[in-house]
Structure 1
Amino acid sequence: MFSTSFTGNDLLFLLRGAWVTLELTVASMLIGTLAGVLLGWLRASLPRATLPLGWFLDVFRSVPLLIQFVLFNALKSIAGLNWSAFSIGCLVLGVYAAAFCTEIIRSGILAVPPSLRRASRSLGLSYWQDLRYVVLPLAARVAFPGWLNLALGVMKDTALVMWIGIIELLRASQTIVTRIQEPLLVLCIAGAIYYLMSWVVARLGARLEKRWQEND
């Protein structure tokens, strides 16, 4: 007969960790998206002038995220900043998301046909009106699938914040495993929670994308 030491309180502890995971994901994607839209527009509009910016962002795309967490956490201590581990986690994940989101937005903007932009300008739209009413709406539809995949990836990457002391879903599951010594059960439950969160985000994204297509 199957018996386990896993209790309802353990499940609540995992769910609290899952909530921290969601908070980290939302905060970092908000930072990454806002920065990515601005930097992506700059990279698409001024490719040569912003070439050093592209090299700088390549660093964050290339260096493993775990190393970035450790370095940022060490710099916080060296600089004497009284920032919480959660703030460091949001900052690192936000910069990491911004590095990828910049290229996603840049590609979306460059995917808008130049002839369409010339037509909008010939109709009397200013540069900013063309950007707001023509370019960004079309670029958003092109970039959205990549942005959604980035959000799902960042959600899984939040597991690395355990190395700077944040108790998110994976850290919570490891704490329970240490106590009850049932890794298979606990990690299966944690994996199911990750899957459920990712499934909800993916379904909401697919519904939004379908609505965009229906409005074409």
Structure 2
Amino acid sequence: MQPSLSFFSGFTPNDLWFLAEAALRTLWISALSISIGTVLGAIFGWILYEGKLTATLTLAPVLDVFRSVPLIIQLVLFYNFAPIVGLDLDPFASGVVILTIYTAALVANVARGGIEAVGLPMRRAARSLGMTYWQDLRHVVLPIGGRAVFPAWVGVALGVMKDSALVSVLGYVELLKASQILITRTQEPFLILTLAGAFYFALSYPVSRFAASLERKWAQ
């Protein structure tokens, strides 16, 4: 009688925990990069809006480079170039730097679009009521423009979370790298990739649902 083969042969509960830890590392590097990148992107967007010709000739081309060059190339080039200029960065730090700049480059156009979404008559009205320039930005532009571009920002955030998988090429053991390690050891690609996809869904779905609930709240 031939011994029966189990579909789950070679995969253990410890492997599931290994994937869960990798998912937390994916969440950490994504949250850090998205948070810092959003702040920088908002600043860059404001500069692009207010800087006009100067920003178009200086900042805009740099942001275009980070938006246009594939992220995996940016990661590899930066990780290998950093030691040449004296920066001793591990894969995590290198990934955060590039993902942050990449996020900022994407958010910059979103932020500029949010500012442009607020009509000049409304801004002039705010100034005529005695608001300063910064009060106008805080109490008029941010609430109105922010709501207008919030769905676009959510799309950027979810995209960066998935793109964080590319940091695996540097050796950082996030969810995709952990999946590759387990596939090599267990030879169970379907099972491992299904679990990895489930973890990615578990990370992304709450964000999309929370964003949808905020949009419904604002629409009321």
Which bracket does the TM-score occupy, shorter chain normalised?
A: over 0.9
Residue of structure 2 aligned with 1:19, choices 20, 24, 27: 24
1:213 shift after superposition: 2.3
Whether 1:37 aligns to 2:58 is no
Residue of structure 2 aligned with 1:46, choices 30, 44, 51: 51
Whether 1:203 aligns to 2:202 is no
Contact 2:79 2:89 in 1 (8 A): no
Can you list the C-alpha shifts for 1:126-164, whole angstroms capped at 9, x where unaligned? 111111111111111112111100010001101100111
Whether 1:168 aligns to 2:194 is no
1:180-195 alignment to 2 at 5 Å?
180-195=186-201
**What is the distance in 2 between the residues matched to 1:205 and 1:165?**
32
Can you list the C-alpha shifts for 1:153-195, whole angstroms capped at 9, x where unaligned? 0011011001111000010011000001010111011111111
SS at match of 2:24: helix
Aligned residue-pair number: 214
**What is the distance in 2 between the residues matched to 1:122 and 1:81?**
50
**What is the distance in 2 between the residues matched to 1:76 and 1:212?**
44
Contact 2:49 2:115 in 1 (8 A): yes
**What is the distance in 2 between the residues matched to 1:3 and 1:59?**
46
**What is the distance in 2 between the residues matched to 1:8 and 1:181?**
16
Whether 1:9 aligns to 2:14 is yes
Can you list the C-alpha shifts for 1:97-149, whole angstroms capped at 9, x where unaligned? 00000000000100101110111111111111111111111111112111100
SS at match of 1:125: coil
Partner of 1:65: 71
Partner of 1:140: 146
Residue of structure 2 aligned with 1:110, choices 112, 116, 126: 116
SS at match of 1:50: helix
**What is the distance in 2 between the residues matched to 1:123 and 1:195?**
47
Give 1:3's aligned amino acid: F
**What is the distance in 1 between the residues matched to 2:16 and 2:186?**
13
SS at match of 2:212: helix
| Superposition TM-score, scaled by structure 1 size | 0.96
**What is the distance in 2 between the residues matched to 1:97 and 1:65?**
11
Percent identity for Structure 1 against Structure 2: 48
Consecutive unaligned residues in structure 1, runs of 5 or more: none
Partner of 1:156: 162
User: Which runs of structure 1 show a deviation greater than 3 angstroms over 4 or more consecutive aligned residues?
Assistant: none
**What is the distance in 1 between the residues matched to 2:130 and 2:187?**
69
Consecutive unaligned residues in structure 2, runs of 5 or more: none
CA RMSD of aligned residues (A): 1.1
Partner of 2:107: 101
SS at match of 1:124: coil
